[in-house]
Structure 1
Amino acid sequence: MRTLSDFRISWEWESPEAARGPELRATWARLEIVVDGQPVTQVEDRVAHSVRNAVYAPLYPVAEWIATNWWPMLYEVFSSTRVDAAVYARRHSLASAAEGFALPNLTFQPEGESLLLMWAPLSLDDRGVRFLARGAGRVERQRAEAELSRFVEAVVRRLEEQNVGQTLLSEEWEAIHSADSDERAFAQAAGRLGRDPYAITDQEGEAITRAVKALPAGLVDDFLAAVDHLDLLSESQAVVAFLEEASGSQVSLDPLRDLRHKLPPLPSDLPPWKQGYEFARRLRAELGAKEARIRSREDLARLFHLDRGQWDQAVLSRSNGFKFVEAAVAQTQTGSPYFFVRRPRPEAQVFALCRALFEYLTAPGAGGALVTPALSDRQKRNRAFSAEFIAPAELLRQAIRRLVVSDDDVQDLAADFGTSEFVIRHQIANHEIAELVVDR
């Protein structure tokens, strides 16, 4: 998938037919949504026995859904540890705005500075239609915001032209557009938590504000993408405590510090996960360790020629008060990395530690980084790096040498590479090394 430039919503006002209610009658239209040249709204009309690229529906419910979910829709990165997928879909899937009309299953999933747009076939038997298209693509958040804003503003103007009075849509849209810079910053933070900034309690608002103020600016987005709003304060206090501990440490891991300044920057023309893969390959080549196994923290120390005593001091594995952050990295007084890893199992520790190591080696500045379960661009990048660094696709190809891989094979490979079966399956599938089968 490439960055999109032609995410478009188009509409033509139509006769309202038998629609009831002033908002619905005023905004009845032919609606077409196109992503990267593909008609998301392509629908089979089983009554008319035809296929068309647009639907007929009132646009008021669509615009109202966009406005009331505006901040989460643009900023809430999905994290399975924080929110149920069905709950997330209510804020991000256009089908949630249907209100009995036919709308496609189009999901807007923020990933950082971009949105992943995904759509899939959907049968609506009660409406006599079936959406046919399936696809995915990425659009820059600013581009998506501009197009969604153009659509909502057109619906608001249509209501005014048709002399429809004050509506929830007009109230929500006025609040969004009248927000000053501080209000927008707060609304974005609330949106990253999946919260409507105009419908939260004073206590919740104060918790968000205190947590955001306590953290370095560079950590706020990843932090909010991972935590539950009820644990904002305790989790932010854990992050601050870790950063303070790191800044007071004199641990010195010279080989890693030197390597950080030696390695080339990430290839910006690649998608996030491919950036992670490519950096892992470059790092192994730089270390002269294309075939090395990384089964433990001790293996990492040997691979990077680290002093074992300093290395052990640089990796914290106690709970440290974290509930949602899987790992973290900050810099010591010497500019060396200082790590926290929450996972108890050795193979999970190594995987999380490699994700944090990637952030240290690639991120500019000294602000540190958080490793979380969220599906943001950054977390996809460090997750892909860790998988490729621990279980390189080329080594897996050499080890497999056949077209089909069973559960027993995956277990053996996981043991050989010292990682989880999940990582092995992920690598085999994503690099199309072989077909995975489930043993019966």
Structure 2
Amino acid sequence: MNAVPELAIRWEWEAAPSVKAPEHRATWARIEIVVDSDHVTLVEDQESGSSRRSIYCPLYPLAEWAAYNWWLLRADARPARSVDMRGPEHYDSRQFRRHSLRGIGDGFLWPNLVIIPEGEHKRLIWQRDRFPTPGKPIRFLADGEAFLDRESVERELISVISAVLTRLAEQGVTDTSLEKEWAGVQSADPDEIEFCLAAARLGLDPYSEAEPYQHLIMRAAAELRGNLLGDFLDAVEPARMGQALDWIGGARSEIGRAPEAEAEAARVLREEIRRSQAAPGNWSWEKGWNQAREVRRILGLADQEVFDLSSYMNSVDRPTADRGLQAIGGSPGDSGPLAVIEPGRPASSRRFTLSRALWHYLWESEPLFLVTTAYTERQKVERAFAAELLAPAHGIGELLSVPPEIAIQDDLDGIAAHFQVSPMVIKHQLDNQLLVS
């Protein structure tokens, strides 16, 4: 994967006198969408069987889609959970279509290109059409995935919107829904922008869906700050925001009353980490792996050695108010970290969640933090850290009695029992490190 791929949307205006809709007729074009050197718009013509790298349709629907979904494309990372679990070809909800060009519609077949914001990057996934779409003359042939710079993708979408508005004005087509929607986005003041981004992180359209939750969004912004607020918005169900904020308030008090001393080892470890010069890596998962390796290096742990989490993280059980919020943690005063976690979880799952909480304490300075089900960039760092801390890839490789490529479930189960993690953690380590050249 190229470290810095770019999105390019190119077009050449074409005459289309027989097209009825004026905004479509004015913006008819030959369109290419390219990610680095991969042509997302590589298609097969069903009638001739030949292939080409462009599609012929109006550019207006793409610009209108980008404008209407602008805030969601900037801040809504929630579809990442479903993409990671099942893949975009299996996911067809309204929320997903807001992030996919296939959801543009307007009678034209667009590529199955998904755009999901994840921190400083946007994740782009595009998939070919396995079967022809009834009534459509083309079939998309390209597959791929890339992480692109967030701002560069947004600039490219803005350039499409601006070019379409300019073309419409030149052709005498005015008062379109695109013109009105984009004017509203551009005229938003700082407070409105903050609200729109918060609503989008909840998976809500700020203009049509967020009003019933406005007071809860404002309450969250008043009670939570920084990454705590962002992680909350990325994971909580909008309808449960009130109960979830009450739960955070209660847990905050419990953490504040926690006795000192027991996690002295965690404080010492954090001081050692702050003096270290470990390179974090370019991508979220690399950062997490490298940070975990640094912890094990400082502690002098061999790759096969089991990490004693109880020496570094204390916990108390308390039912959570929302399934997206798995734990809340912090460190009262100068004491070590304490996590409030949902009771009744399997020991391996609990161990993984508490290891994610430990990442916050060791690598961030905020006094209160959440562990959630979100798949944002920061949450990916947490997960990679926990996996490598508890079950190092090198240790898994040493314990395997067969080459990684022919390992079976029984092999993974035995290693999972050794490291006291779930077999899924071992499989992820196998897939993401040992089987990647």
Same fold, TM-score > 0.5, yes or no: yes
Q: Does structure 2 conserve the Cα–Cα contact (< 8 Å) formed by 1:81 and 1:373?
A: no
For residue 348 of structure 1, what is the aligned residue in structure 2? Answer: 349
Q: What does residue range 334-373 of structure 1 map to in structure 2 within 5 Å?
A: 334-342=334-342, 344-363=345-364, 365-373=365-373
Aligned letter for 1:100?
A: G
Q: What SS does structure 2 have at the residue aligned with 1:4?
A: coil
Tell me whether 230-239 or 46-55 shows the greater mean CA deviation.
46-55
**What residue in structure 2 maps to residue 120 of structure 1?**
127
Q: 1:217, CA displacement in angstroms?
A: 2.4
**Residue 20 (structure 1) shift:** 2.5
Which residue in the other structure is 1:274 paired with? 286
Mean Cα displacement is larger for which, 260-269 or 208-217? 260-269
User: Which residue number corresponds to residue 301 of structure 2?
Assistant: 289
Distance 2:316 2:332 in 1: 13
Q: 8 Å contact 1:105–1:119 — kept in the other structure? A: yes
Counterpart CA distance in 1 for 2:431 and 2:36 is: 26
Match of 2:269 among 247, 259, 262: 259
1:162 counterpart residue number: 171
Corresponding residue pairs, total? 421
Letter of the structure 1 residue corresponding to residue 421 of structure 2: T
The answer on whether the counterparts of 1:316 and 1:339 sit within 8 Å (CA) in structure 2 is yes
Secondary structure of the structure 1 residue equivalent to 2:98: helix
Query: Hey, what's the Cα distance between the residues in 2 that align with 1:325 and 1:81?
Result: 17
SS at match of 2:116: strand
- The answer to whether structure 1 residue 143 and structure 2 residue 152 are counterparts is yes
The CA distance in 2 between the partners of 1:147 and 1:229, in whole Å, is: 31
Contact 1:67–1:169 (8 Å) recurs in 2: yes
1:64 Cα deviation after fit: 1.2
The answer (yes or no) to whether the contact 2:76–2:117 under 8 Å persists in 1 is: yes
Paired amino acid for 2:295 = L
Secondary structure of 1:431's partner?
helix
CA-CA distance at 1:70 after TM superposition:
0.9
Aligned equivalent of 1:430:
432
Match of 1:308 in 2: none
Tell me, in whole angstroms, the C-alpha distance in 2 between the residues paired with 1:266 and 1:154.
45
1:79-125 Cα deviation digits (max 9, x unpaired): 64899943232111111113321311111011112101111112544
The correspondence of residues 26-175 of structure 1 with structure 2, limited to 5 A, is 26-78=26-78, 80=81, 85-87=91-93, 88-122=95-129, 123-125=131-133, 126-175=135-184
Distance verdict in 2 for CA 1:267–1:240, change over 3 Å: farther
Q: CA deviation at 1:248?
A: 3.7
1:410 is matched with: 412
Find the counterpart in structure 1 of residue 391 from structure 2: 391
Aligned with residue 196 of structure 1, among 202, 205, 209: 205
Please report how far the alpha carbon of residue 289 of structure 1 lies from its aligned counterpart in structure 2 after TM superposition.
Answer: 1.4
Gaps in structure 1 of 5+ consecutive residues: 305-310, 435-440
Q: 1:205 aligns with which of 203, 211, 214?
A: 214
Structure 2 match to 1:420: 422
Q: Does 1:233 align with 2:274?
A: no
Q: Is the 8 A contact 2:328 2:368 kept in 1?
A: yes
Q: TM-score, normalised by structure 2?
A: 0.90
Question: Are 1:25 and 2:35 an aligned pair?
Answer: no
Cα distance, 1:17 vs structure 2: 5.1
Structure 1 residue 188: deviation in Å?
0.5
Q: Cα offset for 1:238?
A: 1.7
Q: Which moved more, 1:398-407 or 1:420-429?
A: 398-407
Partner SS state of residue 328, structure 1: strand
Residue type matched to 1:127 in 2? K
Q: In the alignment, which residue of structure 1 is the partner of 2:317?
A: 317
Q: Secondary structure at the match of 2:154?
A: helix
Deviant stretches of 4+, over 6 Å:
81-84
SS, match of residue 325 in structure 2: coil
The 2-side partners of 1:242 and 1:265 are apart by: 34
Q: TM-score, normalised by structure 1?
A: 0.89
